[in-house]
Amino acid sequence: MDRHQAKPAPGRPRSQQAMEAVLTAVRQLLETSAYKQITMEGIAKAAGVGKPTLYRWWPNVASIVMDAMTKQARQDIGVPDTGSLESDLHLYIGDTCRSLTQGAGSIMRSLMAEAQFDDGFAQIFRESFICSRRETLIALLKRSAARGELPKDADLELLTDLCYGPIWYRLLNGHAPLDEPFVQAITAHIMRG
């Protein structure tokens, strides 16, 4: 169970089928409704489960949406292993930017905004979604360091920040696109760093 989810109440074990129905319902609701319009009642109705089921697994809408987005990120953003750091970075950053420009971006902005006003959710968001994405990129960088493409003492945390920082900045400010020239520029800068 993810750390951010409410502990299930004693009794019936979590139904994988019901959980999948909830996450699928949330994705469908987000395709037709703004994040702020999503309610626990609406999710329960769309998923065909009771509200108590939702509250047994998740404390709020933001946590359900975050789980749905985490699942989508795992599906949409692979961990390439081409044998080349430059190629792997280009593919990973490109997939990340494409995911954010094809619908996930507005949802991620909403979750980030939610995290600014709810300290509890902010911690959950960092520990679950942000950490999982960072760990994925750091694993890619470690693999490249093992191949000798990065110095052994490379600061992988900083390289990860240098990758994600510009992406989140453009996503939040909307001042410039998350397009292919941007992906190429980030990749080139990290390769030089």
Looking at the fold, whether 122 and 151 belong to one and the same domain comes out as yes
Instruction: Calculate helix-pair angle for 131-146, 61-76, nearest 10 degrees.
Output: 30
In a domain, 66, yes or no: no
Q: Is the pLDDT of residue 98 over 90?
A: yes
Looking at the fold, whether 23 and 91 belong to one and the same domain comes out as no
Domain carrying residue 86: 77-192
pLDDT tens figures, 39-94 = 999 999 999 999 999 999 999 999 999 999 999 999 989 899 999 999 999 999 99
Looking at the fold, whether 95 and 46 belong to one and the same domain comes out as no
The reported pLDDT for the residue numbered 193 is 66
pLDDT tens figures, 158-173 = 999 999 999 999 999 9
Residue 48: CB atoms within 10 Å: 11
Looking at the fold, whether 55 and 93 belong to one and the same domain comes out as no
The reported pLDDT for the residue numbered 142 is 95
Looking at the fold, whether 101 and 136 belong to one and the same domain comes out as yes
Q: What angle do CA 179, 137, 91 make, to 5 degrees?
A: 40
Q: Is the pLDDT of residue 1 over 60?
A: no
**Amino acid in the structure at residue 70:** T
Indicate the number of domains in the chain. Answer: 2
Query: For the domain that residue 149 is a member of, what is the CATH number?
Result: 1.10.357.10
3-state helix, strand, coil in the chain (%, to 5): 75, 0, 25
Looking at the fold, whether 83 and 55 belong to one and the same domain comes out as no
DSSP letter at 129 equals I
In a domain, 4, yes or no: no
CB neighbour burial string for 146-171, b if at least 16 within 10 angstroms, e if fewer: eeebbeeeeebeebbeebbebbeebb
The reported pLDDT for the residue numbered 16 is 86
DSSP run (H or E) holding 135? helix 131-146
Looking at the fold, whether 87 and 46 belong to one and the same domain comes out as no
- C-alpha span between 5 and 24 (Å, rounded): 17
Residue 180: CB atoms within 10 Å: 12
pLDDT tens figures, 112-151 = 999 999 999 999 999 989 999 999 999 999 999 999 999 9
DSSP letter at 50 equals -
| Percent residues over pLDDT 70 in the chain | 92
In a domain, 67, yes or no: no
Query: For the domain that residue 23 is a member of, what is the CATH number?
Result: 1.10.10.60
